[in-house]
Amino acid sequence: MASLVCLKKCFLVIINIIRTRGVIRFGQIAVAIPGISRKVLTDQLKSLENDNLIKRVQYQQIPPKVEYSLTDKSKSLCPVFDSIVKWMDLA
Which segments of the chain have a pLDDT < 70?
Answer: 1-9, 91
- Residue 63: the pLDDT is 87
- Residue 12: the pLDDT is 86
- Write a three-state SS string for the chain: CHHHHHHHHHHHHHHHHHHHHCCEEHHHHHHHCCCCCHHHHHHHHHHHHHCCCEEEEEECCCCCEEEEEECHHHHCCHHHHHHHHHHHHHC
Q: Give the HSE-up count for residue 41: Cα atoms under 13 Å, Cβ half-sphere.
A: 19
Q: Is 0.75 topped by the overall pTM?
A: yes
